[in-house]
């Protein structure tokens, strides 16, 4: 882990790069190119924890769209990350490997980043079960991908399907620990992105509360409004603490909890901030909606809060043991 | 982590907190029979206080109770985190009520920082060894969240505050934990004008056996007598029992915050994990239980992560402040969440159970509701968060 001062400088350069990203052909900012320009892949290789925390929080805070999650997952799966390699994500809200092999055929369905259908020449597909995972790399041409518009078209997700003769691609065994660590690191990345989005929403609501005058005073003077913003801050700080713990005393469970807490935090922050923003929070004139919608989409990547809570809860009641996970 | 440089003692045999924790748990395992409660839960407040004192005395004899306290008050030095780990280990094993045990965390630092050194050296070991019980006289009937409005009066005998050898106290305190058992009280009094607010408050260490003190226990919603009203009717206190400066009592009151919001919380968190552990041992392993337990677990974990970060910040910087209002909000929410889970998954236990388990859960459940009130209400915490952390300006 790098020193605090260096981390702050890194965060600043990432923010700056994202803010000044070049325009992509076809519109929108080319954040991937901006990240490549400041050495994202080298950062990810040298200091994966800091790189993931800083880059994803900055993406969330800027409502920026990138495909860096492909690199995070590829790294954890033992593949050298590169701009033309995508990783197939499990379907919305889930985290089991997205593929299965049946009758000598590889079937896979899941979500994919904008790399699929654009830069990606190859797609890494994990199949089987979390306990006995296997992996294969298929040519992008073998993937049928449709653009997902959904609530947040700017997230540029794809719904992807693969159907291939299993004999064709090389299907290898994958260490279950590699899949688990990919899910864990991916969850932390997405949770950091949600944290960034939540801080942005809180900033917007706070600014609005201080500026908006009703009954002759800024609405920030009203205790009901103040308490909503306080609740939102509590939720964001909780998420940050959970992410710090998941980084400093890493475990699959700590990463899972961080992702679940991110989901709860996003729900809390969205609810309170939208209420404080009131009318303007229900329009597309104000930027709030972009963060709220992005958080809704991110909530489903690599496991929703509800499903993670149920999964962890099942383990607790089955084993009749409540581990503390983190120590002082 | 390694111990903070401040408070590091060469004489302690453990090189890090994990090593200490392992040694502590091995010792607690070995001494389990001697330490285990002699009563069926929940026991009476008398049972629980006696248990705490007995545990303290055994720990003191074993040299554990002195860890993390400076040598000038009879401690063995080392990081304050050693105390935190000890209290958490006791809570996780149901050996001592963390609400009672962690009172040392809000009493001893006051003596260390504000008492004349001889006084601190004389009395602190008596508290740590279980020979004495102390209480904290802060709240008053008209001063709850608004502590600076307190009125319990201390007047200098002879009229001159600078030369008085003795002070005379008249007034009332309320919500004084364990007052009826206590030998001493860290008391906040009004020494300035009635309007002087936080500038006119002075702290004393008052002997609870002094003539003029009347203690009236308050029966709580769970039938317990943990708290009391304390009446001071011209109680005489020697001037050398003043803690800190004349009219400097506000800083005495504020100085306990870092301990209350770090070590005490960590002990409470360990206790709540223990309660959730007991719950998973009692519920069917179905999806409904999984959901409810999972939700409470999420809250506990998040709180533990936050509290851990707070304590590392305290160890690194030596201070924590308004941001601990977030910890206070979270610990109260988690307390509610754990007992809400118990009530949902064990229907009838809390409401009707007359066996030991039912009585213990009922008592704990009813008390848990106070988590959003004691130590600063949830509303006051949110006010602090809004003003100090979100910088929303004044609310008037």
Residue B123, CA distances (Å) to A87, A167, B54 in order: 66, 80, 18
State the smallest CA–CA distance between residue A193 and chain B in angstroms: 18
> B4 or A179: whose pLDDT is higher?
A179
Mean of the per-residue pLDDT values for chain B? 95
Close Cβ partners of B314 (under 8 Å, ≥ 6 residues apart):
B258, B262, B320
Q: Which residues of chain A lie closer than 8 angstroms to B262, CB-CB?
A: none
Start-end ranges of CATH 1.20.140.10 in chain A?
Answer: 177-319
pLDDT tens digit sequence for A90-138: 999 999 999 998 888 899 999 999 999 888 889 999 999 999 999 999 9
Place of tokens 């299993």: A166
CATH of domain A177-319: 1.20.140.10
Q: What integer pLDDT is reported at residue B10 of this predicted model?
A: 56
Under DSSP, the state recorded for B143 is B
Query: Which tokens hold the place of B358?
Result: 């039912």
CB contact B329 to A (< 8 Å): yes
pLDDT of B7 strictly over 50: no
- Which sequence spans correspond to the domains of chain B? 17-128, 134-252, 256-389
The residue of B386, B387, B388 whose CB has the most chain A CBs within 10 angstroms, and thus the best one to mutate to test that interface, is B386
The verdict on a CB contact (< 8 Å) between B330 and A234 is yes
The verdict on a CB contact (< 8 Å) between A317 and B295 is no
Query: Which tokens hold the place of B128?
Result: 């740590």
Least CB–CB distance from B276: residue in A220, A233, A322: A322
**First CA to last CA across chain A, in angstroms?**
18
Place of tokens 């609501």: A205
Place of tokens 């705490």: B52
Close Cβ partners of A79 (under 8 Å, ≥ 6 residues apart):
A85, A124, A137
Q: DSSP per residue over A171-196, as a string?
A: -EE--HHHHHHHHHHHHHHHHHHHHH
Under DSSP, the state recorded for B341 is H
The verdict on a CB contact (< 8 Å) between A317 and B276 is no
**ipTM of the complex as predicted:** 0.97
Q: Which residues of chain A lie closer than 8 angstroms to B18, CB-CB?
A: 327
Query: Which tokens hold the place of A11?
Result: 């965060």
Query: Which tokens hold the place of A64?
Result: 């920026």
Q: Which residue of the set B105, B140, B226, B260 is catalytic?
A: B260
Place of tokens 């006696």: B50
**What 3-state class would DSSP assign to B50?**
helix
Mean pLDDT of the region B186-191? 98
Cβ neighbours around B215 below 10 Å, total: 18
Q: What integer pLDDT is reported at residue B4 of this predicted model?
A: 42
Mean pLDDT of the region A21-26? 88
pLDDT tens digit sequence for B95-127: 999 999 999 999 999 999 999 999 999 999 999
Mean pLDDT of the region A301-318? 98
Angle at CA B278, nearest 5°, toward B274 and B281?
140
Indicate the Cα dihedral angle A63, A67, A72, A76, nearest 10°.
140
Start-end ranges of CATH 2.40.110 in chain A?
Answer: 78-173
| Domains B134-252 and B256-389 agree in fold | no
Residues 73..112 of B with a Cβ closer than 8 Å to A: which? 81, 84-85
Element (H, E) at B202: strand B201-207
- Please give the interface size between A and B, counted as residue pairs whose CB atoms are below 8 Å apart: 153
Q: What integer pLDDT is reported at residue A277 of this predicted model?
A: 98
The CATH classification of domain A78-173, taken from the options 2.40.110, 1.10.3470, 3.30.1600, 2.60.120: 2.40.110
CB contact B26 to A (< 8 Å): no
Task: Report the DSSP pairing between strands B184-190 and B134-137.
Answer: parallel
Judge whether B157 counts as a catalytic residue: no
CATH architecture of B256-389: Up-down Bundle (1.20)
- Determine the number of helices (DSSP H) and then strands (DSSP E) in chain B: 15, 8
The CATH homologous superfamily to which domain B17-128 belongs is: Acyl-CoA dehydrogenase/oxidase, N-terminal domain (1.10.540.10)
Task: Report the DSSP pairing between strands A122-128 and A85-87.
Answer: parallel
pLDDT of B3 strictly over 80: no
Is B134-252 in CATH node 2.40.110.10? yes
Q: Which residues of chain B lie closer than 8 angstroms to A230, CB-CB?
A: 329, 381-383, 385-386, 389-390
Q: Is the dihedral of CA B321, B257, B272, B363 positive or negative?
A: negative
pTM of the model: 0.96
Mean pLDDT of the region B45-74? 97
The verdict on a CB contact (< 8 Å) between B303 and A238 is yes
Q: What integer pLDDT is reported at residue A165 of this predicted model?
A: 81
Q: What integer pLDDT is reported at residue B8 of this predicted model?
A: 47
């Amino acid at each position: 882990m790098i020193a605090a001062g260096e981390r702050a400088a890194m965060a600043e350069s990432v923010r700056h790069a994202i803010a000044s990203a070049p325009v992509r052909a076809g519109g929108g900012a080319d954040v991937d190119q901006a990240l490549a320009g400041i050495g994202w892949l080298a950062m990810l290789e040298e200091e994966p924890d800091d790189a993931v925390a800083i880059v994803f929080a900055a993406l969330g805070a800027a409502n920026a769209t990138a495909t860096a999650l492909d690199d995070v997952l590829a790294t954890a799966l033992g593949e050298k990350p590169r701009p033309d390699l995508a990783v197939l994500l499990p379907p919305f809200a889930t985290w089991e490997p997205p593929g299965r092999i049946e009758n000598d055929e590889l079937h896979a369905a899941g979500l994919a980043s904008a790399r699929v259908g654009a830069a990606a020449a190859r797609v890494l597909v994990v199949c089987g079960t979390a306990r006995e995972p296997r992996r294969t790399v298929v040519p992008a041409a073998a993937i049928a991908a449709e653009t997902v518009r959904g609530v947040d078209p700017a997230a540029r997700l794809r719904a992807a399907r693969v159907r291939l003769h299993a004999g064709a691609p090389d299907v290898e065994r994958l260490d279950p620990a590699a899949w688990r660590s990919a899910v864990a690191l991916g969850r932390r990345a997405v949770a950091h992105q949600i944290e960034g989005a939540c801080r942005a929403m809180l900033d917007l609501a706070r600014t609005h509360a201080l500026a908006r005058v009703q009954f002759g005073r800024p609405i920030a003077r009203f205790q009901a409004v103040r308490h909503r913003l306080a609740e939102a801050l509590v939720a964001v700080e909780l998420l940050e603490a959970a992410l710090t713990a998941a980084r400093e005393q890493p475990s699959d469970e700590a990463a899972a909890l961080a992702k679940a807490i991110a989901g709860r935090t996003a729900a809390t922050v969205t609810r309170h901030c939208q209420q404080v923003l009131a009318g303007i929070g229900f329009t597309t004139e104000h930027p709030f909606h972009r963060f709220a919608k992005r958080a809704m989409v991110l909530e489903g990547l690599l496991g929703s809060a509800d499903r993670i809570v149920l999964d962890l809860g099942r383990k607790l009641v089955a084993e009749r043991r409540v581990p503390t996970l983190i120590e002082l | 982590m390694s111990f903070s440089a401040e408070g590091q003692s060469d004489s302690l045999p453990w090189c890090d907190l994990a090593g200490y924790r392992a040694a502590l748990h091995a010792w607690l395992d070995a001494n389990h029979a001697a330490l285990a409660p002699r009563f069926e839960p929940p026991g009476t407040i008398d049972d629980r206080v006696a248990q705490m004192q007995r545990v303290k005395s055994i720990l003191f004899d074993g040299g554990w109770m002195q860890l993390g306290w400076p040598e000038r008050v009879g401690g063995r030095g080392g990081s304050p985190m050693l105390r935190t780990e000890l209290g958490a280990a006791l809570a996780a094993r149901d050996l001592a009520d963390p609400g009672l045990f962690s009172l040392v965390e809000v009493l001893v630092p006051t003596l260390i920082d504000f008492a004349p050194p001889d006084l601190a050296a004389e009395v602190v070991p008596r508290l740590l060894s279980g020979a004495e019980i102390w209480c904290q006289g802060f709240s008053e009937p008209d001063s709850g969240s608004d502590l600076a409005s307190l009125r319990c009066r201390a007047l200098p005998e002879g009229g001159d505050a600078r030369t008085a050898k003795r002070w005379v106290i008249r007034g009332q305190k309320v919500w004084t934990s364990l007052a009826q058992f206590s030998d001493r009280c860290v008391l906040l009094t009004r020494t300035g004008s009635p309007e002087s607010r936080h500038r006119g408050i002075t702290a004393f260490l008052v002997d609870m056996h002094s003539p003029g003190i009347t203690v009236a226990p308050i029966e709580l919603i769970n039938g317990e007598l943990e708290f009391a009203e304390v009446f001071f009717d011209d109680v005489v206190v020697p001037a050398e029992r003043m803690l800190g400066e004349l009219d400097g009592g506000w800083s005495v009151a504020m100085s306990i915050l870092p301990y209350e919001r770090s070590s005490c919380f960590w002990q409470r968190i360990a206790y709540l994990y223990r309660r959730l552990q007991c719950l998973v041992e009692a519920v069917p392993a179905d999806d409904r239980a999984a959901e409810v337990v999972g939700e409470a677990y999420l809250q506990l974990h998040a709180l533990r992560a936050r509290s851990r970060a707070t304590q590392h910040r305290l160890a690194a910087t030596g201070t924590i402040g308004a941001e601990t209002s977030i910890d206070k909000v979270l610990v109260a929410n988690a307390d509610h969440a754990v007992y809400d889970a118990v009530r949902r998954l064990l229907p009838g236990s809390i409401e009707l159970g007359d066996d030991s388990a039912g009585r213990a859960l009922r008592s704990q459940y009813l008390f848990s509701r106070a988590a959003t009130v004691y130590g600063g209400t949830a509303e006051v915490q949110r006010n602090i968060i809004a003003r100090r952390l979100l910088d929303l300006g004044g609310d008037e």
